[in-house]
Amino acid sequence: MYLGDVSWPEAGTHLDATDVALVPVGSTEQHGPHLPLSTDHVIAEGLAREAADRAGVVCTPTITVGVSPHHRQFHGTMSVEAPVFRDYVESLSRSLVYQGIDRIVYVNAHGGNVEHLREVGRRLHEDGAAYAVEWMWDESIPDLVDDLFEQNGPHAGPKETSMVWYLADNVREDELADARDGGCPALEDIRTTYNGARLFYDAIENSDNGAFGDPTDATAAKGERLFEAASEQLADLAEWLAAQPWETLAPREHVRSRDESKR
């Protein structure tokens, strides 16, 4: 159930029925010449809404701007500073706790958000406010992603192109070949590390047009397969969280000293 669509009395009924909220989190950033800036938050919201309905939990409105400084050179990219993003997500999460939610899944579709969402989860867990976890859609179905695409790519490649094609039918088909040829179709062709050191900061250092992988391998049908599989994984996670006794999720007490344990 999507909270933004209901009245406050209706929201109260739904919130009384569950302890779990799905919070879709994406970005507004370049995704090559063939995909919209909204790619990540379109994917996150689509998955969160679907899984919430399947699992009988609530879905919040979407966080549409994330931590994206590594795409700053491309027109239209928006980003917030990491500490601001963390504080915002934490504040939003604590407002959910006030409404009776104590289990949160950040339904994430942007790699730049990962470490910051996990840090927010740690903050909430340390003081026992909520059990909050970051969930990245493609990491829930890695075998399927590998099976569907020869040259996947971590950003603006065929997996994201397929998902946007299925969810929003918002792919510039005439730009697919240029996205591949003017980007970085094969990651093995570029040097990204040297003796364990990461050698780049921004996407443009490795891809002139911001795309990675071969988006010409994308189809809406493949996007549907990805969406169905990832939605199932997310709904199962939400149902599992709902079934856990709070004692198994809450932070553990400090280890007792030997002297204390003898008392």
Confidence class for position 188, pLDDT limits 50, 70, 90: confident
Per-residue pLDDT at 258:
74
Per-residue pLDDT at 256:
85
- Pairwise CA distance, residues 37 & 168, whole Å: 13
Tell me the pLDDT of the chain averaged across its residues.
Answer: 96
Per-residue pLDDT at 261:
61
Write the CB contacts of 51 (distance below 8 Å, at least 6 apart in sequence). 22, 57, 59, 107, 231, 234, 235, 238
Bridge partners for 59 per DSSP: 2, 22
Per-residue pLDDT at 152:
93
pLDDT in tens, 171-180: 999 999 999 9
Scanning the structure block, which residue is given the tokens 């040097």?
A: 191
Per-residue pLDDT at 185:
95
Structure tokens that stand for 141 in this block: 């179905």
Q: Which of 70, 26, 30 is nearest to 182 (CA)?
A: 30
Per-residue pLDDT at 260:
67
- Pairwise CA distance, residues 151 & 176, whole Å: 14
Scanning the structure block, which residue is given the tokens 């299925």?
A: 166
| Residues constituting the chain | 263
The whole-number average pLDDT for the span 227-236 is 98
pLDDT in tens, 237-249: 999 999 999 999 9
Structure tokens that stand for 199 in this block: 């050698």
pLDDT in tens, 34-93: 999 999 999 999 999 999 999 999 999 999 999 999 999 999 999 999 999 999 999 999
Q: What are the chain's domains? A: 3-261 (3.40.50.10310)
Torsion over CA: 110, 114, 115, 120 (sign): positive
Confidence class for position 187, pLDDT limits 50, 70, 90: confident
The whole-number average pLDDT for the span 150-169 is 96
Does the pLDDT at position 22 exceed 70?
A: yes
The whole-number average pLDDT for the span 90-104 is 98
Does the pLDDT at position 262 exceed 70?
A: no
Per-residue pLDDT at 111:
97
